[in-house]
């Protein structure tokens, strides 16, 4: 609901005379590829859960690394914006760039914490320390992660096309 309200505000304010379009940093394209790839690797993990715990854990770790790379690419994009003289308070459009990518990044970090927990549980399962209660948690994390991926694609397209 928060993102829906923010998108509504973004569209409404885009008609404002203070609205100055900001060029989408190229790094946003890279981060979009990273996050879409992370959905693929997470699906590979989900499909390996009942077949091969070692591969399941490996794919979870790859997904976690891609999530970290996504957040790093967002920080690089912010640095690119600052280098171009585009700051949070420059104008309403630049504010939304920082707000959308920052809020999304914080939510994605929650997903990365969940991925780290699943990765640790997979390791414990391999060592025989933990029982087999893993499917529901994996399904929940997959649903959350894919939602975050879809949300980023929608925000990216909004920032790219609606300025």
Looking up residue 113, the CATH number of its domain turns out to be 1.20.120.80
Domain presence at residue 71 = yes
Domain presence at residue 6 = no
pLDDT digits (tens, 9 = 90+) for 119-135: 998 888 877 766 666 68
Domain presence at residue 9 = no
Comparing C-alpha atoms, which of 163, 119, 157, 162 is closest to residue 141? 119
Domain presence at residue 5 = no
What pLDDT was estimated at residue 26? 92
What pLDDT was estimated at residue 123? 85
What pLDDT was estimated at residue 71? 97
What pLDDT was estimated at residue 145? 98
**Which domain covers residue 53, as residue numbers?**
25-161
Taking residues 147-156, what's their average pLDDT?
Answer: 96
pLDDT digits (tens, 9 = 90+) for 81-102: 999 999 999 999 999 999 999 9
pLDDT at 67 over 80: yes
Listed range (4-8, 40-44, 70-74) with the worst mean pLDDT: 4-8
Domain presence at residue 37 = yes
Instruction: Report the distance separating Cα 96 and Cα 83, nearest Å.
Output: 17
Domain count, the chain: 1
pLDDT at 163 over 90: no
What pLDDT was estimated at residue 35? 98
Between 43 and 51, the higher pLDDT residue: 43
What pLDDT was estimated at residue 85? 95
What pLDDT was estimated at residue 161? 92
Domain presence at residue 114 = yes
Helix, strand or coil, per DSSP, at residue 130: coil
- In which element (H, E) is residue 124 found? helix 92-126
Between 55 and 134, the higher pLDDT residue: 55
Mean residue pLDDT of the chain comes to 92
Q: Tokens 């008609």 identify what position?
A: 15
Task: Decide if 115 contacts 91 (C-beta within 8 A).
Answer: no
């Amino acid at each position: 609901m928060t993102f829906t309200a923010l998108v509504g505000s973004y569209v409404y304010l885009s008609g404002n005379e203070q609205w100055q379009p900001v060029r989408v940093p190229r790094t946003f394209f890279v981060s979009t590829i990273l996050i879409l790839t992370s959905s693929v690797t997470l699906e590979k993990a989900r499909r390996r859960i009942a077949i091969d715990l070692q591969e399941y854990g490996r794919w979870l770790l790859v997904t976690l690394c891609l999530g970290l790379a996504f957040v790093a690419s967002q920080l690089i994009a912010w640095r690119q914006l600052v280098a171009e003289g585009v700051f949070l308070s420059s104008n309403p459009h630049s504010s939304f760039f920082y707000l959308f990518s920052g809020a999304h990044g914080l939510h994605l970090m929650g997903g990365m914490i969940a991925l780290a927990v699943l990765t640790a549980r997979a390791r414990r399962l391999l060592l025989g320390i933990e029982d087999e209660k893993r499917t529901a948690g994996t399904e929940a994390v997959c649903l959350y992660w894919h939602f975050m991926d879809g949300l980023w694609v929608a925000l990216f397209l909004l920032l790219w096309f609606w300025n």
